């Protein structure tokens, strides 16, 4: 990027924006792995996190990519399917990074700075059946709206555009997360912390004994990081997350739902029964959370997210799961093929 169009990326404000992005990215209660994204608008450009990059690395690696905002907004106004391909709107054709699929969320808001996080406090409300009603009290006085779950990309952007006003600067995305917006980096950060604080829920403390599962060297699995182990030791959490998925990143990074090893099957049998379709994560209740050795970077962080969200769900909470069609759409699967694949996996487990 030698053209002066991109000079903003060398400014102090851009550096501060990257520093805030990294700070948010390092807080696992706000962002896990490659999830979440931030943006800042300057002149005709929207600088947004690139797909697959980690916010936590925003000051160390190239993380932000410039998008031609006018071109994107024009296509959004026409309800054009090209909105689903944010790479089409890259301001620099030589840029190898692709803008996040959630770029349209950022472009939907007029504010200069937009922060989108998978805040575990917010998600623990946003997965409840009556979330919108329940949030009225804790968010009183803020210009917020509740956005029912829609697939990230065009469907989510359309829903946002139909709900917001000029003043809206807090979006609670059903079964997904939080978006805050402001005209300065400082204000956006303060608003994010305020909502995170207002939505704090009681968290069950779980005692995690040191893993007592002896994993044979030839197993495809390893112990998950300690921070992701809690869910195996909390019956209420397991009940809440069993059968289905709560939010998109779970489906994208871990697959559908969570797989539990039932007490009548050994790990060895489990691995032999379905060698072609072993899940990325496997939970042995009361014992351990295991991660497939070939699972991509970030899998442990996604399990941490699940652990933290589930530990905030109370026994009487009525939890809304993503539908079968929601999951298939996230994975770009034909719904019927996806149903058959899931049925096959369940049958061989
Ligand atoms: Zn998201």
Reported as a single tens digit per residue, the pLDDT across 168-224 is: 999 999 999 999 999 999 999 999 999 999 999 999 988 887 766 778 889 999 999
CA of 177 to the centre of ligand 1 (A): 6
Domain assignment of residue 308, given as a range? 221-348
What is the Cα gyration radius of the chain?
21
Whether 25 is covered by a domain: the verdict is yes
CA of 211 to the centre of ligand 1 (A): 32
The number of distinct structural domains making up the chain is: 2
Q: What is the pLDDT of residue 172?
A: 98
CA of 117 to the centre of ligand 1 (A): 6
CA of 212 to the centre of ligand 1 (A): 35
The reply to whether 62 and 189 lie within a common domain is: yes
CATH number of the domain bearing residue 118: 3.40.225.10
CA of 34 to the centre of ligand 1 (A): 10
Whether 206 is covered by a domain: the verdict is no
In angstroms, the CA 253 to CA 303 distance is: 9
The reply to whether 186 and 231 lie within a common domain is: no
The reply to whether 225 and 177 lie within a common domain is: no
pLDDT tens-digit profile of 130-170?
999 999 999 999 999 999 999 998 899 999 999 999 999 99
* DSSP character at residue 225: P
CA of 159 to the centre of ligand 1 (A): 15
CA of 30 to the centre of ligand 1 (A): 11
The reply to whether 283 and 329 lie within a common domain is: yes
Q: Which helix (H) or strand (E) holds 49?
A: strand 45-49
DSSP string, 179-210: EEEESSHHHHHHHHHHHHHHT---------PP
Whether 215 is covered by a domain: the verdict is no
On whether the CB atoms of residues 106 and 160 are closer than 8 A, the answer is no
Q: What is the pLDDT of residue 293?
A: 95
Q: Please, which residues bridge with residue 90 across strands?
A: 67
CA of 70 to the centre of ligand 1 (A): 23
The reply to whether 182 and 253 lie within a common domain is: no
Name the token pair of 147.
Answer: 């956005």
DSSP string, 45-71: EEEEEBTT--GGGTTTS--EEEEEHHH
- CA angle 62/184/124 to nearest 5° reads 80
On whether the CB atoms of residues 106 and 39 are closer than 8 A, the answer is yes
CA of 178 to the centre of ligand 1 (A): 8
Whether 211 is covered by a domain: the verdict is no
CA of 67 to the centre of ligand 1 (A): 18
Q: What is the pLDDT of residue 345?
A: 61
Of the residues 163, 198, 233, which one is the last residue of a structural domain? 198
In angstroms, the CA 220 to CA 294 distance is: 8
Burial of 156 (0-12, 13-18, 19+ CB in 10 A): buried
Give me the sign of the Cα torsion angle 32, 35, 41, 45: positive
The reply to whether 266 and 331 lie within a common domain is: yes
Whether 342 is covered by a domain: the verdict is yes
Alpha helices in 199-298 (DSSP H): 235-241, 248-254, 267-273
Whether 187 is covered by a domain: the verdict is yes
Q: What is the pLDDT of residue 8?
A: 87
Residues in contact with 5: Cβ distance below 8 Å, sequence separation at least 6, in sequence order: 45, 66, 91
CA of 312 to the centre of ligand 1 (A): 19
CA of 198 to the centre of ligand 1 (A): 20
In angstroms, the CA 279 to CA 275 distance is: 10
CA of 79 to the centre of ligand 1 (A): 21
CA of 118 to the centre of ligand 1 (A): 6
| Pick from 65, 53, 121, 117: nearest CA to 89 | 65
- Residue position matching structure tokens 């969200």: 309
Q: What is the pLDDT of residue 1?
A: 47
CA of 287 to the centre of ligand 1 (A): 31
CA of 230 to the centre of ligand 1 (A): 23
The reply to whether 194 and 225 lie within a common domain is: no
CA of 31 to the centre of ligand 1 (A): 9
CA of 105 to the centre of ligand 1 (A): 9
The reply to whether 56 and 171 lie within a common domain is: yes
The reply to whether 194 and 310 lie within a common domain is: no
| Pick from 104, 87, 105: nearest CA to 96 | 87
The reply to whether 293 and 328 lie within a common domain is: yes
The reply to whether 132 and 181 lie within a common domain is: yes
Residues of the chain with pLDDT under 50: 1
On whether the CB atoms of residues 157 and 76 are closer than 8 A, the answer is yes
In angstroms, the CA 242 to CA 232 distance is: 12
CA of 343 to the centre of ligand 1 (A): 28
The reply to whether 176 and 270 lie within a common domain is: no
CA of 146 to the centre of ligand 1 (A): 15
* DSSP character at residue 120: H
Whether 122 is covered by a domain: the verdict is yes
Q: Please, which residues bridge with residue 177 across strands?
A: 173
Whether 210 is covered by a domain: the verdict is no
* β-bridge pairing 170-173 and 144-147: parallel
CA of 119 to the centre of ligand 1 (A): 10
């Amino acid at each position: 990027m030698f053209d002066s169009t991109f000079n903003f990326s060398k400014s102090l404000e851009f550096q501060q924006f990257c520093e805030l992005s990294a700070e948010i990215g390092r807080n696992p209660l706000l962002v896990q792995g490659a999830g979440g994204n931030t943006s800042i608008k300057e002149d005709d450009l929207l600088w947004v996190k690139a797909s697959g990059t980690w916010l936590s690395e925003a000051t160390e690696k190239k993380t932000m990519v410039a998008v031609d905002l006018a071109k994107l907004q024009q296509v959004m106004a026409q309800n054009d399917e090209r909105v689903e391909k944010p790479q089409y709107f890259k301001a620099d054709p030589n840029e190898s990074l692709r803008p996040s699929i959630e770029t349209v969320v950022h472009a939907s808001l007029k504010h200069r700075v937009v922060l989108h996080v998978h805040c575990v406090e917010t998600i623990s409300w946003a997965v409840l059946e009556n979330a919108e009603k329940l949030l009225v009290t804790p968010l009183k006085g803020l210009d917020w709206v509740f956005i029912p779950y829609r697939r990230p990309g065009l469907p989510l952007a359309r829903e946002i555009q139909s709900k917001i006003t000029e003043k809206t600067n807090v979006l609670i995305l059903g079964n997904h997360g939080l978006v805050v917006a402001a005209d300065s980096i400082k204000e956006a950060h303060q608003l994010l912390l305020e909502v995170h604080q207002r939505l704090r829920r009681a968290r069950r403390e779980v005692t995690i004994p040191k893993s007592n599962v002896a994993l044979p060297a030839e197993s495809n699995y390893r112990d998950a990081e300690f921070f992701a182990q809690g869910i195996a030791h909390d019956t209420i959490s397991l009940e809440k997350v069993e059968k289905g998925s709560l939010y998109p990143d779970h489906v994208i990074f871990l697959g559908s739902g969570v797989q539990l090893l039932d007490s009548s099957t050994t790990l060895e049998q489990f691995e032999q029964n379905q060698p072609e379709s072993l899940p990325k994560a496997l939970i042995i209740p009361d014992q351990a959370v295991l991660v497939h050795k070939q699972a991509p970077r970030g899998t442990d962080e996604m399990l941490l997210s699940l652990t933290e969200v589930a530990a905030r769900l109370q026994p009487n909470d009525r939890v809304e799961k993503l539908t079968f069609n929601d999951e298939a759409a996230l994975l770009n699967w034909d719904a019927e093929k996806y149903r058959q694949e899931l049925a096959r996996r369940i049958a061989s487990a």
